[in-house]
């Protein structure tokens, strides 16, 4: 939904004046809480989104062998930064169109001690030859189906054979129809579970193991 200034959380340059804040992210498997800077004009600025929380609790568990992973639509960085903490040898690409969100992710990654391994970029700055072991995303469903499908058609083919993507999507925003579309596109998709109206979708690389 657009805010009072006509902004969306996916505006490239939000017009909303600064309203800096912080959210605390406690993950039982990590030492110490993450204190993440947020601001007006970015997604879920006052609290970790419930879908993101579900993904972090259940789905965002990088295996020991991953070296290159991505968070598509990183916002202020909760998934990218938690993933970098959980996979201490991995490079994490944190991608967003919202410049304010990207600045926050950069600052949050630096403060969390993972700034050297979190590459914070716009989609245009992603190298063409980037390949990924895994990707996580609370994707921007409010951009509309066509844009979301384009985004997934861009990112899923970057997975290595045997790689996987993990998406959290609200049921009332089309999680089940997205799962059907993914299957129709040839991606093996599993509905891993639901929590408080969100579905977690696991997608295997269509290139197989
Ligand atoms: C649902 S929010 C999730 C934000 C963050 N990962 C979180 O969990 O708090 C989706 C994000 O996708 C971003 N986005 C929109 N279009 C995008 C695109 N084409 N490529 C990458 N990110 C995009 C939005 O700006 C927004 O920050």
Which residue has its alpha carbon closest to ligand 1 atom 13? 73
Comparing 64 with 3, the larger pLDDT belongs to 64
Q: What is the mean pLDDT of the chain?
A: 92
Residue nearest to atom 25 of ligand 1 (CA): 10
What's the pLDDT at 209? 66
Distance CA 198, CA 209 (A): 28
| Mean pLDDT, range 197-203, rounded to an integer | 97
Give yes or no for residue 10 CB within 6 A of ligand 1: yes
pTM above 0.85, yes or no: yes
98 lines ligand 1 (CB under 6 A): yes
Cα–Cα distance measured from residue 31 to residue 21, given in angstroms and rounded to the nearest whole number: 22
pLDDT at 208: 66
Closest CA to 36 of 112, 138, 114: 112
What is the structure's pLDDT at 65?
83
- Angstrom distance (rounded) from CA 117 to CA 107: 13
């Amino acid at each position: 939904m657009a805010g009072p200034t006509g902004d969306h959380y996916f505006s490239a340059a939000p017009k909303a004046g600064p309203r800096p804040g912080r959210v605390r992210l406690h993950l039982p498997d990590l030492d110490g809480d993450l204190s993440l800077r947020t601001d007006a004009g970015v997604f879920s600025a006052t609290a970790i989104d419930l879908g993101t929380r579900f993904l972090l609790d259940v789905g965002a568990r990088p295996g020991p062998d991953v070296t290159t992973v991505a968070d598509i639509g990183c916002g202020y960085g909760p998934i990218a930064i938690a993933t970098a903490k959980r996979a201490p040898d991995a490079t994490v690409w944190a991608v967003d169109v919202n410049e304010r969100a990207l600045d926050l992710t950069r600052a949050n990654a630096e403060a969390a001690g993972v700034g050297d391994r979190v590459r914070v970029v716009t989609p245009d700055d992603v190298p063409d030859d980037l390949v990924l072991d895994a990707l996580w995303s609370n994707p921007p469903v409010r951009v509309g189906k066509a844009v979301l499908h384009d985004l997934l058609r861009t990112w899923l083919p970057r997975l290595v054979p045997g790689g996987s993507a993990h998406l959290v999507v609200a049921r009332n925003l089309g999680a089940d129809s997205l799962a059907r579309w993914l299957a129709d596109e040839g991606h093996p998709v599993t509905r891993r579970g639901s929590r408080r109206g969100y579905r977690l979708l696991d997608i295997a690389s269509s290139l197989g193991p």
